[in-house]
Structure 1
Amino acid sequence: MNLLEDFSPGLFIMQAIILLILIFLMMKFAWKPIMQALTEREEGIQSALDAAEEAKKEMQNLQADNDRLLKEARAERDAMLKEAREIKDKIIAEAKEEASEQGATMIENAKATIKQEQQAAIAELKKNVAELSIGIAQTVVKKELASQDDQLKLVEGMLEEVTLN
């Protein structure tokens, strides 16, 4: 109640006029810069949010691209490994086939060589048997024909055989 007793209408009006002048001056000089600063800040925050959202989308796109590239790289790696395995198997098969062919050729050559050597040995053996037979025959004939009576007997025996046949 003490406040109502100290109330002065002139002071109140003066303070109200000063308040209105201050509000007017604030609106005239401070309100626009403050509102402009708030608007700029809001726009800055919004552009930062938009940029962050754009960056997020870009990161998702990059992640998708990375995943796609990774899948492609894996598929390419698998294809290269498959191709390398096929080439390895082909080389091994070719090497086995070539080794088999060379082995067969070597076996055929060895058989031919053995047959030639066998024929040469048989021919040599025949030659040796013939020479030995001739030597034995010469020795027997010389022994048989050493005496004249034996020679006559041999010639007569041969003549008898010739006439009998």
Structure 2
Amino acid sequence: MNLLEDFSPGLFFMQAIILIILIVLLGKFAWKPILSALSEREEGIESALKAAENAKLEMARLEASNEAAAQDARAQRDEMLKDAREIKEQMIADAAGQAQEKADKIIASAQEAIESEKKAALADIKSQVADLSLDIAEKVTRKELSEKDAQLALIDKMLAEANI
């Protein structure tokens, strides 16, 4: 109760005016900067969250793009390997064809050489046989022609055979 007895209306109004002035001064100089700083901070946080979301979306897009690029690279690699295999097989086939052609030419050449050697050998044998036959015929004829009657008989016989 002592409190009510010590109450002074002049002091109360003075303190109320000081409080109102203090509230106005704080509102003008302190609350506005504090509220604007809080607002700026809130906007900064929101923009950072939006930037993080955009970065996340960009990362997802880049990952998809990287995956597509990796698939393209794999497809190109596979295509290049397939082309390389085809070229290798074609080169092997060409080399085998050329080797077969060379082998056929060598075989044909060898057969021609064998045939010509065979003909030469046969001609040589024929020549030797002819020479031997002539030698034998000459020897036989000399023996037969050494006698005069035998010579005349041989001539008659040959004429008879020629006129047949």
With normalisation by structure 1, the TM-score equals 0.85
Tell me which residue corresponds to 2:7: 9
Tell me which residue corresponds to 1:22: 22
Aligned length: 159
State how far apart, in whole Å, the 2-side matches of 1:131 and 1:138 are: 10
State how far apart, in whole Å, the 2-side matches of 1:9 and 1:91 are: 116
143, 150, 159: which is aligned to 2:156? 159
Tell me which residue corresponds to 1:93: 93
With normalisation by structure 2, the TM-score equals 0.85
Q: 1:151 to 1:19 in 2, by over 3 A?
A: farther
Matches within 5 A, 1:23-38: 23-38=23-38
Runs of at least 5 residues in structure 1 that lack an aligned partner in the other structure? none
What is the percentage of aligned positions where both structures have the same residue?
Answer: 48
Q: 1:60 to 1:76 in 2, by over 3 A?
A: same
Deviation at 1:17, TM superposition (A): 3.9
Q: Which amino acid aligns with 1:36?
A: S
Deviation at 1:97, TM superposition (A): 1.4
State how far apart, in whole Å, the 2-side matches of 1:127 and 1:115 are: 18
State how far apart, in whole Å, the 2-side matches of 1:46 and 1:34 are: 18
Matches within 5 A, 1:63-82: 63-82=63-82
Deviation at 1:12, TM superposition (A): 5.4
